[in-house]
Amino acid sequence: MTVKLKQMTLYRKHTEWRGKMRGKKVAWSLVLITILFMTVIILGDDGFGNNGDSNADSEDDVKISESAYPGIDIKAVIDESETYRMAIHYPVFEAPSLNQEIEAYVDSAKKQFFREVDKNQQHLKERPATFNVSFDIYRVSDEVYGIAFDEQSFVGGANGRQEGQIYHMNLESEEVFNPEQVIVDSQNNRKALYNYVLKEFQESEEYRDFFFKEYLQDLMLNSPDLFRKIILKDRELLLKFDKYEVTAGAAGMPEITVPLEEINLTLTETGQDFLKVDGKDESVTESDDEEKQEDQNSEVGNEEEEDKEEPLKKVALTFDDGPHSQYTPEILEILDRYDAKATFFMLGNRVEFYPDLVREVFDRGHEIGNHTYDHKDLTAMGAEAIQNEVGKASLAIEEIIGRKPKILRPPYGAFNEAVENSVQIPLILWTVDTLDWKHKDPQKILESVKSDVEEDSIILMHDIHSGTPEGLGKVLAYLDGEGYDFVTISELRNQGS
């Protein structure tokens, strides 16, 4: 059987991006493909219990990939409805006392957002509210980390809200502490900090046209919130301000670094030791500890040597929102049993937490696609913000596998003309939605595939949910029996060329 060439670019004239594709079969044209899709609700399932995968290895043999930050993992809560889109990412520690502090913050932020959504239900049906919580992590030593949250929401009106929240965690003592335990809160210290920060704002090409001196002065000399703006680092401080707090909105959330050798601060006894720890600062926006992989001899997802005279029917298995420290390794093992290649659309923030796992996915011959950095709704963003959200994820992936991903799956499957014009790589959606994010039921995953699969289908699953590995095993067994070959997205796009 000769497989027809089928181009998988998105339909450029698609204007109603909120269309549904659940349970639909898609007719592929030679040049363009029209995909009617439903908005996808994804609720991160980061538990570590037995997922009951009858096809997986025994529990004793399950491999859990280690984080790049020992003792810290990352959890995602991703959800949507008719009136909102939400993506929350936060760190998870081994110590329950540290998790309680973070979970209390996340819960409070969610409740505040949903109160606003409840007040604006009617007009949000026209344009859903958006809520995103992301974080940067800063390593001061092996035991001490600073966590800086960035909370962004838009519930109508002219402007959205963007705020920060900072925590400092000691993994050894299992304590949450604040900078006042390190820096004495005195007028002399406040004045020294203010004078340095004022000079930085005045000389900054990025901020000087937007900052308000009187706001900065009041915050730094009088406000009890000052020390909540400080990230402690090795031999320096990082001050992070909320949007509109000391600048116009165009400046975003300003950051100013203060080297301790350039100002005279009075430190507590704890602080004198704490701020002189030898070590490198790291944040999840960089991957300094990860060497770039040497040039590969083949492209991502290159086709293996084909021994068959007649090509099989092809189908592309895709996984979103990972990698996950437990479920992704399980999925890799199951794929290997069927010599199946798949495409993993990864989030940049999780990529930086699990670099070894990302490299393993790549080394096993699977394709890695871009799913943005923080799973933000790209349709609610301007061109520059879209490029940053996509580019940041591409860079994180490139630093680990040595190349940028060639395809992008937009979060929620949501895109518009601005998104298409802002990215330089093909947008890839799906034709079979297993709804694994919703029911986490392996048998229902199989039933979805049986109902909707056809030649050249793109099947959507998520490697962050407990039921997906077992469901994948069932799907592979069924499709293999039906004569399907399992290929990457790039292989499917390039067939016949």
pLDDT (tens digit per residue) in 163-206: 899 999 999 999 998 888 888 999 999 999 999 999 999 999 99
End-to-end alpha-carbon separation of the chain, Å? Answer: 16
In the three-class reduction of DSSP (H, G, I as helix; E, B as strand; rest coil), residue 436 is classed as: helix
Pairwise CA distance, residues 252 & 65, whole Å:
35
Q: Is position 181 within any domain?
A: no
Q: Is position 450 within any domain?
A: yes
Tokens representing 101?
């502090």
- Decide: pTM greater than 0.95: no
Determine whether 288 is an active site residue.
Answer: no
Catalytic site residue from 324, 371, 462, 465: 462
pLDDT at 357: 96
pLDDT at 234: 76
Tokens representing 23?
């349970």
Catalytic site residue from 53, 73, 242, 320: 320
For helices 355-363 and 327-337, the axis angle rounded to 10 degrees is 10
Residue 312 confidence (pLDDT) above 60: yes
pLDDT at 480: 92
Q: Give a three-class secondary structure readout of 350-375.
A: HHHHCHHHHHHHHHCCCEEEECCCCC
Q: Mean of the pLDDT values across residues 242-253?
A: 89
Q: Which domain holds residue 463?
A: 9-53+312-494
- Residue 473 sits at the vertex; the CA angle it makes with 468 and 474, to the nearest 5 degrees, is 95
What are the angstrom distances between the C-alpha of 434 and each of 21, 41, 442? Answer: 11, 12, 10
Q: Mean of the pLDDT values across residues 401-424?
A: 95
Q: Is position 90 within any domain?
A: no
Q: Is position 144 within any domain?
A: no
Listed in sequence order, the residues at least 6 apart from 346 whose beta carbon sits closer than 8 Å to its beta carbon are 322, 323, 358, 368, 369, 370, 371, 393, 397
Determine whether 462 is an active site residue.
Answer: yes
Of 1, 85, 99, residue with least CA distance to 484: 1
pLDDT bin (cut points 50, 70, 90) of residue 276 is low
Q: Mean of the pLDDT values across residues 349-361?
A: 96
Q: Is position 255 within any domain?
A: no
pLDDT tens digits for 323-344? 999 999 999 999 999 999 999 9
Contact yes or no for 368/346 (Cβ under 8 A): yes
pLDDT bin (cut points 50, 70, 90) of residue 65 is low
Residue scoring higher pLDDT (254 or 292): 254
- Domain count of the chain? 1
Pairwise CA distance, residues 135 & 133, whole Å:
7
Residue 283 confidence (pLDDT) above 50: no
What whole-number percentage of the chain has pLDDT above 90?
A: 62
The answer, yes or no, to whether the previous bond of 355 is cis (omega within 30 of 0) is no
Q: Is position 323 within any domain?
A: yes
Q: Is position 129 within any domain?
A: no
Residue 18 confidence (pLDDT) above 80: no
pLDDT tens digits for 111-165? 999 999 998 888 888 889 999 999 999 987 778 899 999 999 998 765 678 889 9
Q: Mean of the pLDDT values across residues 211-218?
A: 93
CATH at residue 447: 3.20.20.370
Mean pLDDT of the chain: 81
pLDDT at 122: 80
pLDDT at 29: 36
In the three-class reduction of DSSP (H, G, I as helix; E, B as strand; rest coil), residue 112 is classed as: helix
Secondary structure E strands in 94-143:
129-139
Residue scoring higher pLDDT (128 or 287): 128
Q: Is position 293 within any domain?
A: no
